[in-house]
Amino acid sequence: MVRGRRRAAPAALPASGAATQVRNILSLPARRKTGRAANLPAHPDRAPDIVLAMSSVVVQPAARVRGRVPVPGDKSISHRYALLAALAQGRSTIDGYAPGADCASTLACLRALGVRVEGPRPAGGAGGRPVVTVDGRGVGGFGAPAGPLDAGNSGTTLRLLSGALAGHRFTSVITGDRSLRRRPMRRIIEPLSRMGARVTGDGDRPPLTIAGSRLEGIDYTPPVPSAQVKSAVLLAGLHASGETTVRESAATRNHTELALPMFGAELREVDGGVTLRGGQRLRAAGLTVPGDLSSAAFWATAAAALPGSDVTLEDVGLNPTRTGILAWLQRAGAVVDLLEVIEGAGERRGSIRVRHGGNRALTVGPADVPGLIDELPVLAALATHGGELHVTGAGELRHKESDRISALADGLRALGGHVEETADGFHVAGAPPLRGGEADAAGDHRLAMAFAVAALGARQPSRIRNAEAVDVSYPGFFDVLASLCVTRQESVP
């Protein structure tokens, strides 16, 4: 059960009661001028800056979660389909486009580059899956923007778009909100500069100024495996002469490699990586985005955590580079079944049924982290339900929407958890149960949702501050949580 409210002076948390729907206050707050990058023009179609106005939500303890959930479209795939559609020739249709603020930032930036974008609009009437149409301008066809491009809170928008802009012979500036402007970008500055673009920032942080140029393909191995860095280099490679190869010491998400052939591009696998020939023309496509497994992971983990739970997640992407979370839930003891799996070109998809079956201790090492990077906060939430989690090799978490290691540890401790923080990881001991309390999501959508899952197992209600951060990736998250929860009072015969 959840209740939403505006942030106010601290007050006693309400006692547990019957489940209620979250109030409308959890919808994205109106923008204010404070907190935006200096001298940015107002863009009426830009994504809202969600860190400006604050709200909180109260999560009541739950006995179990039960139900069927259609999750929003996959955020990672939506970004890539939109960018490739903009670089293709002709009109592309994207069905199931992710509804969050991050993916709205990508569309806003594309519009500012002269790309005609319609939507998102519901298909088949109210409540339908969001549909976006994009009239592509061809590889190298973006127009010079009238002002800085605003990526909002979206690191994916900034990194991937930087790769595409590197091959356009004009100068552009791409920035974002306060959180994004704190994130280091050296990992894309270095390879794009090697290809021939001139990329500068505030040190190695946004805003980035990109002076596009004639690019040359490179053979590149990122020092730290990263799907976003790989994708930025491949998008630049589309505009380069010769071949561009990206190699990885550990496999990362391959959504870009799967999407490029759907737009007519040819790639080939090489030892430890993939090679793309520059100068290829992309053709428009009709595409369907599967449900976001990273969003579904919160419901799967809640079901794994609470005895008697049974949740089915409908039409979810099952890309093998993303399904690691399901294997880890099984290791912890959950019963996980894949239903109605669809194989074929593009992304694998299907439904997932998750039931509670235990909560054993887990140890996540450096080799495991690339396939779990977004799901580590919710695995930490699972551990607070009587399990245990050791994580090492996850230093990248310190450079997400927040310092995700410190903010995660602080939030779980505030709810009564036992968490030890290390330089590149953390240790969560799940006994005794959380007492409940007040945790700060620190403007980080994944932390807000992870704290909600942890709070379901607390002895008392818990308040999550800055809860509106969920709208970055999952608008309506707390409504779905309310619909799935069976409170402890309701479970008593």
Going by C-alpha positions, the residue among 40, 21, 19 that lies closest to residue 31 is 40
Flag the least confident range among 51-55, 139-143, 149-153, 198-202: 51-55
Q: What ranges make up the beta strands (E) of 271-317?
A: 273-277, 282-283, 286-288, 310-317
Task: Report the percent of the chain where pLDDT is more than 90.
Answer: 77
pLDDT in tens, 106-120: 999 999 999 999 999
Report the alpha-carbon distance of residue 299 to residue 485 in Å, rounded: 10
The larger pLDDT score, comparing residue 124 to residue 270, is at 270
Residue 72 has a pLDDT of 93
Residue 493 has a pLDDT of 56
Q: Which domains occur in the chain, in start order?
A: 2-72+290-487 (3.65.10.10), 75-287 (3.65.10.10)
pLDDT in tens, 190-248: 999 999 999 999 999 999 999 999 999 999 999 988 999 999 999 999 999 999 999 99
Q: Are strands 438-440 and 462-465 parallel, antiparallel or unpaired?
A: parallel
Residue 85 has a pLDDT of 98
pTM attached to this predicted model: 0.85
Question: Which burial class, exposed, middle or buried, applies to 175 when counting CB atoms under 10 A from its CB (0-12, 13-18, 19+)?
Answer: buried
* pLDDT(51) > 70: no
Q: Per-residue pLDDT averaged across 388-405, rounded?
A: 86
pLDDT in tens, 314-353: 999 999 999 999 999 999 999 999 999 998 778 999 999 9
Question: Which burial class, exposed, middle or buried, applies to 38 when counting CB atoms under 10 A from its CB (0-12, 13-18, 19+)?
Answer: exposed
* pLDDT(152) > 90: yes
Contact 136, 81 (CB under 8 A): no
For 195-234, letters b (16+ CB in 10 Å) and e give: bbbebebeeeebbbbbbbbebebbebebeebbbbbbbbbb
* pLDDT(45) > 50: no
The larger pLDDT score, comparing residue 224 to residue 137, is at 137
Residue 343 has a pLDDT of 86
The larger pLDDT score, comparing residue 17 to residue 380, is at 380
Q: Per-residue pLDDT averaged across 3-16, rounded?
A: 40
SS3 assignment, position 36: coil
Residue 401 has a pLDDT of 62
Please give the mean pLDDT across all residues of the chain.
88
SS3 assignment, position 221: coil
Residue 127 has a pLDDT of 55
* pLDDT(8) > 70: no
Q: Per-residue pLDDT averaged across 4-16, rounded?
A: 39
Residue 344 has a pLDDT of 74
Name residues whose C-beta falls within 8 Å of residue 211's C-beta, 6 or more positions apart in sequence: 171, 197, 198, 199
pLDDT in tens, 267-316: 999 999 999 999 999 999 999 999 999 999 999 999 999 999 999 999 99
* pLDDT(47) > 80: no
Q: Give residue 474's Cα distance to chain centre.
A: 9
C-alpha count within 13 angstroms, C-beta hemisphere, residue 79: 27
The larger pLDDT score, comparing residue 9 to residue 266, is at 266
Report the alpha-carbon distance of residue 188 to residue 234 in Å, rounded: 11
**Which residues are designated catalytic?**
374
Flag the least confident range among 142-146, 192-196, 432-436: 432-436
